[in-house]
Amino acid sequence: MAAEIHDLADQRPHLVIVADDGVHVVPHALVREVIVGDKSSSILTEPVLRRIIEEWTERVTA
């Protein structure tokens, strides 16, 4: 399976997410679209979702 590579220069700001399966660069706008329900969360991989939840949990319980 080949990964798609996109130029993210026009999609700033973006998030750099270090997940179990590697480093992912995700446009902030895409994450917002998932949050509000415009895009399905399935667009994000399971390791990316786990890492986002992990970091969120650390921030809200600190």
Q: Is residue 25 part of a domain?
A: yes
Give the count of domains, the chain: 1
Residue 39 pLDDT > 70: yes
Does 37 map to a domain?
yes
User: Does some domain include residue 49?
Assistant: yes
Q: What is the mean pLDDT of residues 3-32?
A: 86
Three-state SS annotation for the chain? CCCCCCCCCCCCCEEEEEECCEEEEEEHHHHHHHHHCCCCHHHCCHHHHHHHHHHHHHHHHC
Is the pLDDT assigned to residue 3 strictly greater than 90? no
* For range 23-51, the mean pLDDT: 94
pTM of the model: 0.75
Residue 8 pLDDT class (50, 70, 90 cuts): low
Question: What's the mean pLDDT in 18-30?
Answer: 92
Q: What average pLDDT score do residues 1-27 get?
A: 83
Domain residue limits at 52: 14-61
